[in-house]
Chains A and B, each alone.
Chain A
């Protein structure tokens, strides 16, 4: 910093929802006042209510509010905030924003813009990582013409490989080759299909990853030359390429592999002069080979599972690093403690192709009990807007071992109740109890396989009790309607003496949701 060490005495949180509240919580604990920004529908959002100060920044559409750098900087100036925390999503990985923040003389709680740029484009990141000795998914960046040359390359990276049309998409001109003997015919087929579909027969080669798992390493760097890793997170349970359930550690990673992945991730961070919290994502194949996929230059949604197994507060560490302090835990941590699992509760209908279900929350009950954490930005009466992400809460459970953590999260999700809008909490429980997940042998195809199988979930007992409770509920509803008419009689305001509109007002419709 130009004028000595930054202080971070007031933090503007350039975000909304659960992550804004989560960041503000740590700020409160550290005695740092917070500044919220809010769009029209977020006037009564939890982050607006939770902050020390709050400033309106525009209409619902993010491009006119949460993504407006000029408005955010203006609020920072008006409020006297000297640091900005971007959360995740929105502007968190936007280097232009990080530069603008620094140019305004403020502290950006995140990595330097140069590091963000280096990781932003895939080809550039691949080149940098290869140079830093970080394994990348083997493959050619360019098309290849000569069959013999192509085959030699395939042998070099090892079968199976994928042949993909350079101009391709939608599965056309794509061939998986399992053995060297099959190479020639697949080569011809892929090229002719590519020519027919795209008018261009150029193909390139990439290693085919069998049953890929998505495993990432949390890294942390300070301005004193320390680059540490905080172990891995397993994030293979995904729908629409978005994570649904994450756990730490991964049931697939061995101690040696953890050490190696951690060291590689630190190398990746060093290669771009990283600072603060970052995540290096790897694809891991069935043979435990791991390949760099990308680096997320921000705090991740699933950071709580790392907090649970390390006991650290990652937001606190981010703020301390931004202040120029060394990493608060001192040396590279050597081992994690226990197991943590996180489930993302989303306003979506998992039984109906995950369609979003925005609306007003009529009843809201979070999970409680030992070693359970809820991170949420909503409350009873709040309207989940169609303008923002459907994730409304994260429920995280810790246990001394994996099975305990899973059972605890399952129990917690059974307590977690939302009425008024459909959420995916039961679906999350079904995944937790799905054989593959329970045994820890899963990969990114787990949701698809689960949906193909559709295991029976409720029993005849659930069905019987559900029917009795529902019938009782309707019975009482009918009884109450009757009871209100009876009350009217003794008071001299019997139905006969009332106008039609008065009668209709007198009997209040049952409150429904």
Chain B
């Protein structure tokens, strides 16, 4: 593979980045960001650190994937550049298309799966199956590190399933409530 195209989203805006290694593994790349060309010297180091030189400007960049670890179509990342974190969602063009195909079907059915954002304990269930909820309404309280955190419904709908009980220990990503 000599060149690849990526689609990145930052704060709702979409950007394209083309990476071309000229067929050589020499650390030099041509990148075209939204039509603008850059010659980039990049090195991938241990611990997901990327050292980038652009026009002799040195950037030490820390990459951290923040999406679901087992989902290759989840491109969320935290990228720290000169100590400032940019949250972006980036996928190759190919994966982006796969994702669009996969989620088109999801958004039609309008199912929202509320997951625990962290390991903890279900402190209080605020809804039960069959309840109508408003957008932004609290549905469940998860407790971790002595703090209670209320999770809210991202949309209006009906609670079709409550998957956990009060007092139950949950992991990050555990499905708690389904809203349709």
**Using a CB–CB distance below 8 Å, which chain A residues touch chain B?**
240, 347-349, 352-359, 362-363, 386-390, 413-415, 417, 419-420, 422, 426, 429, 457-458, 462-476, 478-479, 482, 512-513
Contacts and interface: CB of A to CB of B under 8 A. Distances in A.
Contacts of B65: 512-513
Contacts of A429: 83
Given A353-B149, A355-B118, A426-B83, A467 B69 contact: no
Contacts of B21: 475, 479
A458 to B, nearest CB: 4
B8 interface: yes
A450 to B, nearest CB: 16
Interface stretch (B56-64, B99-107, B129-137, B160-168): B56-64
Nearest to B78: A422
Contact of A469 (B1, B4, B59, B120): B59
B48 interface: yes
A465 B52 contact: yes
Nearest to B149: A355
Given A465-B61, A470-B77, A356 B147 contact: yes
A471 B118 contact: no
Contacts of A348: 145
A-B pairs, top 3 by smallest CB distance, nearest first, are A414-B83, A466-B86, A356-B145
Contacts of B25: 479
B149 A462 contact: no
Contacts of A358: 118-120, 144-145
Chain B interface size band reads 35 or more
B178 interface: no
Contact of B40 (A363, A415, A468): A468
15 contacts: A355-B149, A363-B48, A387-B145, A458-B84, A462-B84, A463-B10, A464-B33, A466-B79, A466-B88, A467-B6, A468-B54, A471-B8, A473-B50, A476-B44, A512-B65
B156 interface: no
A473 B146 CA distance: 37
A354 B15 CA distance: 29
Interface in B113-145: 117-121, 144-145
Contact of B48 (A353, A355, A467, A513): A513
Nearest to A355: B149
Contact of B64 (A356, A389, A479, A513): A513
A415 B118 CA distance: 26
A512 B81 CA distance: 19
